[in-house]
């Protein structure tokens, strides 16, 4: 008899879209390139390694697969425990012009007023907010420029991870991933969070110029356009300084409280973002946790969630040109699908 490992090996940590590793009995989705549900043989669309992993004698355990229903359930749980989110009186936005699909690329400022009318900056004194904000100025925004990471910046990364892991939200996410045999301990989870989000890789010219955190939360400029930049706190702080100019929005989510979702058009020092989706009023740990969940469960595919009874989807992509820890992938991007 083969002895089954309790936890997935590093290279099996993330659900690979072209493999059945960790996906046995996963429900059918037309977005998948191949399938691992029990009926896939009948429809002749199984992944090539289906028998190896999902046959009764295979290695993978079907109970370790993260199902669509489980994603809906855990996302609602995380939504309920986002205790640090903004309250309705904390943030007031002024969305103004709603852009039609053909308008999002016209680079015209259709909204004369700023997006944010009011933000209660006392929010930013909360530990997860304050440690998050300290990270935002650690990056060269233009790709192709080597990032120089100082000892202080490494400490800021550790402080942020420490603060988010003290929240009920991130503890609940860890318990879920632990039950799914993705991590054996909280220490292992935190170490992987640091690599997947803060580990450096090259987007241009071979320089170690980017990371998942920089791209998603701080924003980059690549080939004359804004790349990434999906965070409401970053947007507010730069708009307040006058270096971000809000143009319009193409999507406003159905939520009547925070967190909400907005798809928006803006310029950053003259560099344009055609559609920059963002949660509005969420805590840093909420975004960090949801993006992490989707990156682990559905990398490279739409990750379907539920927040307050409303459905939404998050898209993540792994960085495929380099890896860490015996084949683990860095985060290339993560964002809310705003359409």
| Percent helix / strand / coil, the chain, rounded to 5 | 35, 25, 45
Residue 11 pLDDT: 43
**What average pLDDT score do residues 34-51 get?**
84
Confidence of residue 50 (pLDDT cuts 50, 70, 90): confident
Residues of the chain with CATH 4.10.410: 14-52
Which candidate, 292, 140, 123, places its Cα nearest to that of 214? 140
**Residue-wise pLDDT tens digits, 147-188:** 999 999 999 999 999 999 999 999 999 999 999 999 999 999
Give Cβ neighbours of residue 102 (< 8 Å, ≥ 6 apart).
none
Catalytic entry in 53, 273, 304, 329: 273
**What average pLDDT score do residues 244-248 get?**
98
Strand locations in 17-162, DSSP E?
91-93, 116-119
Catalytic, 118? Answer: no
| CA dist 273 → 17, 28, 218, 244 (Å) | 29, 34, 14, 11
Catalytic, 273? Answer: yes
Catalytic entry in 222, 230, 304, 329: 230
Handedness of CA 298, 293, 138, 185 (dihedral sign): negative
Catalytic, 53? Answer: no
Catalytic entry in 53, 215, 222, 249: 215
Residue 9 pLDDT: 44
The CATH number of the structural domain formed by 14-52 is 4.10.410
């Amino acid at each position: 008899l083969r002895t089954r490992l309790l936890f997935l090996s590093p290279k099996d940590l993330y659900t690979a879209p072209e493999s059945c590793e960790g996906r046995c009995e996963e429900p059918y989705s037309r977005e998948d390139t191949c399938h691992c549900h029990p009926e896939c043989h009948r429809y002749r669309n199984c992944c090539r390694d289906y028998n190896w992993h999902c046959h009764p004698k295979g290695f993978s355990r079907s109970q370790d697969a993260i199902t669509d229903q489980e994603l809906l359930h855990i996302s609602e749980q995380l939504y309920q425990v986002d205790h640090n989110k903004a309250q309705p009186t904390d943030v007031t936005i002024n969305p103004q012009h709603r852009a039609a699909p053909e308008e999002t690329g016209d680079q015209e400022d259709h909204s004369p007023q700023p997006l944010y009318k009011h933000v209660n900056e006392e929010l930013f004194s909360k530990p997860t907010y304050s440690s998050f904000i300290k990270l935002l100025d650690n990056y060269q925004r233009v790709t192709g420029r080597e990032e120089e990471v100082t000892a202080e910046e490494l400490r800021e990364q550790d402080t942020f991870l420490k603060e988010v892991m003290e929240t009920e939200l991130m503890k609940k996410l860890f318990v879920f991933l632990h039950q799914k045999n993705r991590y054996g301990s909280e220490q292992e989870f935190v170490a992987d969070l640091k690599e997947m989000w803060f580990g450096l890789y090259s987007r241009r010219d071979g320089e170690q110029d980017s990371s998942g955190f920089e791209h998603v939360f701080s924003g980059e400029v690549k080939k004359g356009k804004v790349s990434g930049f999906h965070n409401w706190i970053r947007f507010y702080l730069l708009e307040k300084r006058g270096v971000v100019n809000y143009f319009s929005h193409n999507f406003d989510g159905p939520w009547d409280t925070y967190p909400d979702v907005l798809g928006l058009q803006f310029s950053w020092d003259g560099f344009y973002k055609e559609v920059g989706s963002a949660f509005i009023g969420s805590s840093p740990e909420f975004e960090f946790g949801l993006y992490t969940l989707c990156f682990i469960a559905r990398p490279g595919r739409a990750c379907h969630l539920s927040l307050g009874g409303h459905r939404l989807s998050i898209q993540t992509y792994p960085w495929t040109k380099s890896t860490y820890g015996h084949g683990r992938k860095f985060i290339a991007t993560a964002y809310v699908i705003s359409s």
